[in-house]
Structures are given as C-alpha cells and as structure tokens.
Amino acid sequence: MSLEELYREVILDHYRSPRHKGKLEHASAHAEGHNPLCGDEIALDLLVEGGKVTKVAITGQGCSISQASASMMAEAIEGKSLDEVRDLIGKFKAMMDIEGDPKDAGIDPARPGAALGDLEALQGVRKFPVRIKCANLPWTTLEQALEDV
C-alpha cells in the first residue's frame, strides 16, 4: 500500500465512522461552521474544565475531507490543555497553508504534517486547493468556539 493509499484509508475510515459524534448537554462552548463552496457543515461542542478540553462532540454533514478532518480533530484535542489545542490549530493551519513559507511556520516542506499524528493523512489535500477550505472548516469552527472559553 502506498502512503497515499494509506492516507485515503484513514480519511475514509474517519468519514464512515466519525469519532466523538453527537452533542453535549452542558457544553462550555459551541460553534458552527459552514463552507458554502462545498456545502460542508460542522457543529462543535466543547467541555472545558480546569484549562483542559475534557470532552468534544461534533455533528456535521458534507464531504469526506471536511467530516474526516472534524473526526480526527476531535480525537486529537480531547484531553489536551487549551494551550496545546491552540498550538495544534497553528500546526494544522501551517500544514494547509500552501502559500505560506514552510520555514516561517517551522515545518518541513517535504512532510508538512510530520508533527500531527493521524492528521498528517490530510496533507495530501494540499494538492487540491479548492478542498483546503473543507479540511480547515472544523479548525476555524474550533477557533470560534475557543473565543467563548
């Protein structure tokens, strides 16, 4: 299996079986995001306790890239401190920023997602600029939610 096929498998797996799907009854923060270019929608609930994201719940619909990105994001941020979550947002955006200078963002241009674990599977989206908004949607929604905490 090539790396690209492996990435595709990871994305499809998260799309078919989204992690942390649902809503929280007592969320500390909530945000909704919409990507009109593709019709993607994300609704995000966070529970924040003691400076940590202790629970994440997401509902949404749309393309495989947007929904897989949301599912992987939820897995990556649950249990992390707010500082760690903000750091991860920065790294994800740097991976997806095809116009920025990788050196400025402190990433390896040959492997821009190296520090991102499973989320590295989404780095192939860089080759399809119109889909970058799909991959970024959950992350911009997360940034909005963090404004409330």
From the number of C-beta atoms within 10 Å of its C-beta (0-12, 13-18, 19+), residue 126 rates as middle
Nearest to 24 by CA among 47, 42, 40: 47
32 bridge partner residues = 43
**Interacting span for Zn ion (CB under 5 A) from 26-34, 56-64, 68-76, 89-97:** 56-64
* One of 15, 29, 33, 40 touching Zn ion (CB under 5 A): 40
What are the start-end ranges of the E strands in the chain? 29-35, 40-49, 52-61
Within positions 68 to 127, which residues make up the interface with Zn ion, using CB under 5 A? none
Of the residues 18, 45, 66, 91, which one makes contact with Zn ion according to CB under 5 A: 66
Look at residue 44 and give its three-state secondary structure.
Answer: strand
Span near Zn ion by CB under 5 A; candidates 55-63, 78-86, 103-111, 114-122: 55-63
Length of the chain: 149
| Residue 134 within binding range of Zn ion, rule CB under 5 A | yes
Stretch of 24-32, 73-81, 95-103, 130-138 lying at the interface with Zn ion (CB under 5 A):
130-138
Instruction: Find the shortest distance in angstroms from Cβ 97 to Zn ion.
Output: 18
**Which amino acid does the sequence have at 100?**
G
Q: Is 63 in the site for Zn ion (CB under 5 A)?
A: yes
Q: Which residues bind Zn ion (CB under 5 A)?
A: 38, 40, 63, 66, 134
